[in-house]
Amino acid sequence: MKRRKGNALIILLSLIGIIAAAAVGPVYGQGEFLFLDEIEPGMRGIGKTIIAGDEIREFTVEVLGVIDNPGGEADFIVVRVSGEVIGLSGGIAQGMSGSPIYIDGKLIGALSRAAAWAKVITPVGLVTPIEQMLEVIAALPGGRAASEPAKGAVLAGVTLVEVDAPPSLATIAGAPDTIFAHPVIAPLLVTGLAGRSLDMLMDGIGIEEGPAGLLREFLPLSIPSSMRGLSSFGLRLAPFAGGTGGATSPRPPLQPGSSIGVALTRGDVTIGALGTLTYIEGNTLVGFGHPFLSGGRIAFPLTNVHIYTTIAAFDISFKMGSLRESIGTIFEDRMAGVGGIIGKETDLVDLSFGVVDLDRNITRNFQIEVVDEPRLMGTLLLSTGFAAIDATLDRIGQGTVEVTYRIIGDGMPFPLERRDIFISTNDIAVYPPWQLAGIVSFLQYNDFADPKITRITASMQITRELNAMRINRLVLDQDFYYPGDTIHYTVELQTFRGETRVVEGTIDIPDGLLGDSIIVVRAYSGPRLVEEGETPIVFESLADIIERIEGLPSHDTLTVELFAWDYIRDGLRGIGRVRTEFTGYFLYAELEVEVPLFMPED
């Protein structure tokens, strides 16, 4: 949205209702800012940022002009940057995004992108205008709105092209009227993940790529969910993870130019990004100058940050730092930046993994808090779950795992509790995190109510032994039956490289079945798909979903089920079953016997 000079337009935007609840939002003095229509080429000023420790340092900026894109929301001020800070940083570094830029003591916006332009040798940056950033957090007073740049400031004939990384010198030289810009993205800091768990966090994985036999195969389709890696959001992993440590001395109060962080997890696994604070008014602040995950209205922890140093690199320089204590909540994640409130506690999901290595008698517990963001939850559960199992077992390979899940939410009618057993000859760590991620995704994308999950626990006991039993034989006591008869069955099970076990039982055939047809007796383990002659599963509430997930049998359960033909639906339907549990054993294979059902003799 743009305005001509003299046009009175008040933009009313509240920060997730919290500022509005205080009746009056922050009031900005006109003398604090220099807006886009007041910017002229040749203006000189300063930028503020931290390159090491907690000291805010200044660098020099010179306005080259303005990029005037249609709509006004993508307008940028083009500046030349210089000075000792830029030299030590090797140019505009990752983590400098949000660095406030001042001209004559007035804030014009935040450094948000590094750029390359054949006509300018020294480092070039793009500044997100301050009026766009103020819209992220509050109302602009005095009739100021996103403004038209002055005609004399617009870089006529210059094209802006946004790229993911700095282009080659040949590309720059071959396009003298093109400014190539790339975001000075917030470096992603990760501790507690390594190897494949870190790869999974960054690269993601398709939900359909999970192992076979999980509950998602036996539940009605829900809204498709993906497990996007953080790199798909434009984030880049910092080469050195800083953890949550840093200086122990008292921190100076936040001010423009201070480093700030946004966390996705904290605890035994920490994941977050750092950037720079642009403007603060009371307890309300805005920073970065670009989106974090483009999440819109969010609730992520706002943290202090300690900067160890800034590493100059040939391609992209970066700040090396660590997330520190949480100091508030980021509530807005918009194109022009992130906005938050200091002192407002963030509601997070308590995630707990308990892993027992039965072979080595080792127990490890992992306590992690994660943001309640459905787009990220699957990826966070997978990466942290793999990390917990791999760190405890210190190996990747075969085994048997028994796992118990418990999920609690303020929007859930009652907690979800489920027990499972899985076996693998290749990688036992795959199953528990995938099962958990699928269950949580199904809850979060259900059709009825937000579960408002507050706590997730997964307790696992793992051995490298293959505790398995194969369903080898199914024998019935007769070759045919009549309605009203009782079937006596025998199931023979073979343990892996062990003894044979026999299970005997009975199933009654209902009197009302039609004769001169067939019946089927099937022996199987775990859940099964709905047969063609059965009514499809239809949920009417979140409670129905929870009960269904809890009620599906695990793979240590032997089910012997009687099926009859449904002539209306033209398919089999289950009419009776008997279940037997073999705790600690994974049952596999499936057998069935088909026999005639005759009409009773008169």
Give pLDDT tens digits for 164-182.
Answer: 777 777 887 777 878 887 7
Q: Which of 523, 430, 533 is nearest to 471 (CA)?
A: 523
Say whether both 326 and 260 belong to one domain.
Answer: yes
5 is a domain residue: no
Say whether both 486 and 451 belong to one domain.
Answer: no
Strands 76-82 and 56-67: antiparallel
Cβ-Cβ contacts under 8 Å for 203 (sequence gap 6 or more): 229, 231
Q: Among the three residues 183, 208, 227, which one is the final residue of a domain in this structure? A: 183
Question: Which secondary-structure segment (H or E) carries 420?
Answer: strand 416-424
407 is a domain residue: yes
Give pLDDT tens digits for 530-550.
Answer: 999 888 888 999 999 999 999
Say whether both 209 and 295 belong to one domain.
Answer: yes
Say whether both 527 and 454 belong to one domain.
Answer: no
Give strand pairing partners of 270: 191
433 is a domain residue: yes
Rg, Å, the chain Cα set? 31
Q: Which pLDDT value is given to residue 470?
A: 97
Q: Which residue has the higher pLDDT, 364 or 296?
A: 364
Say which CATH number the domain at 122 has: 2.40.10.10
Give pLDDT tens digits for 403-449.
Answer: 999 999 999 999 999 999 999 999 999 999 999 999 999 999 999 99
Residue 11 has pLDDT above 50, yes or no: no
12 is a domain residue: no
Secondary structure percentages of the chain, helix, strand, coil, to 5: 15, 45, 40
**272 close to 323: Cβ distance less than 8 angstroms:** yes
Nearest 10 degrees: CA dihedral of 550, 555, 560, 564? 60
Number of domains in the chain: 4
567 is a domain residue: yes
Say whether both 217 and 329 belong to one domain.
Answer: yes
Residue type, 179: I
Encode 189-217: b = buried (16+ Cβ within 10 Å), e = exposed. bbbbbeebbbebbbebbebeebeebbbbe
Q: Which pLDDT value is given to residue 308?
A: 86
Q: Among the three residues 150, 183, 216, which one is the final residue of a domain in this structure? A: 183
Say whether both 484 and 441 belong to one domain.
Answer: no
278 is a domain residue: yes
The percentage of the chain sitting over the pLDDT mark of 90, rounded to a whole number, equals 60
- Of 116-120, 263-267, 278-282, 403-407, least confident by mean pLDDT is 116-120
Q: Which pLDDT value is given to residue 332?
A: 93
> What average pLDDT does the segment 324-341 reach?
93
> What average pLDDT does the segment 320-334 reach?
92
Say whether both 143 and 254 belong to one domain.
Answer: no
Q: Which of 159, 93, 157, 164 is nearest to 123 (CA)?
A: 93
Q: Residue 416 sits in which domain range?
A: 354-463
583 is a domain residue: yes
Give strand pairing partners of 342: 328
Mean per-residue pLDDT over the chain, rounded: 86
Residue 190 has pLDDT above 50, yes or no: yes
**25 close to 10: Cβ distance less than 8 angstroms:** no
Q: Which pLDDT value is given to residue 321?
A: 87
Say whether both 193 and 172 belong to one domain.
Answer: no
**Phi, psi torsion values for 547, nearest 5 degrees:** -65, -40
Residue type, 94: Q
Residue 320 has pLDDT above 60, yes or no: yes
Say whether both 167 and 212 belong to one domain.
Answer: no
Give pLDDT tens digits for 42-81.
Answer: 999 999 999 998 889 999 999 999 988 766 567 899 999 9
Say whether both 96 and 49 belong to one domain.
Answer: yes
Encode 508-540: b = buried (16+ Cβ within 10 Å), e = exposed. ebeeebeeeeebbbbbbbbbbeeeebeeeeebe
Residue 377 has pLDDT above 50, yes or no: yes
Which contacts (CB < 8 Å, 24+ apart) does range 176-179 have?
176/118, 176/119, 178/117, 178/118, 179/67, 179/78, 179/115, 179/116, 179/117, 179/124, 179/126, 179/155
Q: What is the pTM of this model?
A: 0.87
Q: Among the three residues 291, 320, 342, which one is the final residue of a domain in this structure? A: 342
Give pLDDT tens digits for 569-578.
Answer: 888 999 999 9
Residue 333 has pLDDT above 80, yes or no: yes
Residue 191 has pLDDT above 70, yes or no: yes
Q: Which pLDDT value is given to residue 24?
A: 36
**110 close to 136: Cβ distance less than 8 angstroms:** no
Residue 450 has pLDDT above 80, yes or no: yes
Say whether both 37 and 153 belong to one domain.
Answer: yes
**Residue 551 confidence class, pLDDT cut points 50, 70, 90:** very high
Distance between CA atoms of residues 591 and 132, nearest Å: 66
The percentage of the chain sitting over the pLDDT mark of 70, rounded to a whole number, equals 88
**Residue 315 confidence class, pLDDT cut points 50, 70, 90:** low
> What average pLDDT does the segment 484-491 reach?
97
Say whether both 496 and 529 belong to one domain.
Answer: yes
Q: Which pLDDT value is given to residue 18?
A: 38
Q: Which pLDDT value is given to residue 172?
A: 77
Q: Which pLDDT value is given to residue 37?
A: 87
Distance between CA atoms of residues 65 and 80, nearest Å: 10
256 is a domain residue: yes
